[in-house]
Amino acid sequence: MHPQQSLVSELMAQLQGAPMQQMAQQLGADRQQIQTAVGAALPLLLGALGRNAAQPQGAADLMGALQRDHAAAMPQGLGDLLGAVLGGAGGAASPAGQGAAILGHILGGSQQQAQDSLGQATGLGGQTAGQLLSMLAPIVMAFLAQRVQTGNMDAGSLGQSLEQERAQAQSAGGLGGGLLGSLLDQDGDGKLGASDLFKLGSAFLNNRS
């Protein structure tokens, strides 16, 4: 039997090629540099969601946000979703602004530390690393929503899957595992605000229509 592909590996594969090049061009960075940063950012984001889902009602809140606000994004294509994120001109109501707000609710009080550490480790700098994380946050949420749909997952299995992903990322080490370990060691306030994610997801999808 083949081991189940990790969520990080699966999403990383979908981002290869044109999506990775688009992000590099948008950020004015080298493609290989972005590849390395994305490879660290995905376990960081999924691991943070795993931490949030492990809190009381966390998995149920996340499930509600995914089903209500993010499920329609990925079936239209990763390219369309990424185009909406990259095409945002800025501001809280733009797709780019919504991505930044979603990121804030995933990472909570650890956001600044996460983007500064990622920026320092990859040479992108904290500001560019923050922009990259903001691009990836809505993509990660839409990807999870798609997995919930195709896998007929409930809140319990979603939480279990994210916990396995968090444990795997930390045990694998590397840049992503190290950043995640540092994030989880800090007792920040990165709680999943379900009502905020509902509003953010709805606004994000409305901006894409």
Domain annotation covers residue 142: yes
Q: In angstroms, rounded to a whole number, what is the distance separating the alpha carbons of residues 7 and 13?
A: 10
Per-residue pLDDT reduced to its tens digit, 59-90: 888 888 887 765 555 545 566 666 666 665 44
- Domain containing 113 equals 7-208
pLDDT tens, position by position, 86-130: 665 444 444 556 788 888 888 888 888 889 989 998 899 999 999
pLDDT computed for residue 97 by the predictor: 64
Check if the beta carbon of residue 132 is closer than 8 Å to that of residue 34.
yes
Q: CA 19, 97, 133: angle at the middle one, nearest 5?
A: 50
Domain count, the chain: 1
Q: Is residue 139 assigned to a domain? A: yes
Question: What pLDDT does residue 146 have?
Answer: 84
Q: What is the pTM of this model?
A: 0.79
Residue 72 lies in a domain: yes
Does the pLDDT at position 35 exceed 80?
A: yes
Structure confidence by residue, pLDDT tens digits, 155-196: 889 889 998 888 888 777 777 777 777 776 654 443 433 343
Does residue 114 contact residue 104 with C-beta atoms inside 8 Å? no
Residue 76: CA count within 13 A, CB half-sphere = 14
Tell me if 22 is assigned to some domain: yes
Q: How confident is the model at residue 149 (pLDDT cuts 50, 70, 90)?
A: confident
Mean pLDDT of 8-29: 90
3-state secondary structure the chain: CCCCCCHHHHHHHHCCCHHHHHHHHHHCCCHHHHHHHHHHHHHHHHHHHHHHHCCCCHHHHHHHHHHHHHCCCHHHCHHHHHHHHHHCCCCCCCHHHHHHHHHHHHHHHHHHHHHHHHHHHHCCCHHHHHHHHHHHHHHHHHHHHHHHHHCCCCHHHHHHHHHHHHHHHHHHCHHHHHHHHHHHHCCCCCCCCHHHHHHHHHHHHHHHC
C-alpha to C-alpha distance for 177 and 172, rounded to whole angstroms: 6
Confidence tier at 36 by pLDDT (50, 70, 90): very high
Distance CA 58, CA 115 (A): 23
Buried b (16+ CB within 10 A) or exposed e, 65-100: bbebbbbebbeeebeebbebbbebeeeeebbbbbbb
- Give residue 188's pLDDT: 42
In a domain, 2, yes or no: no
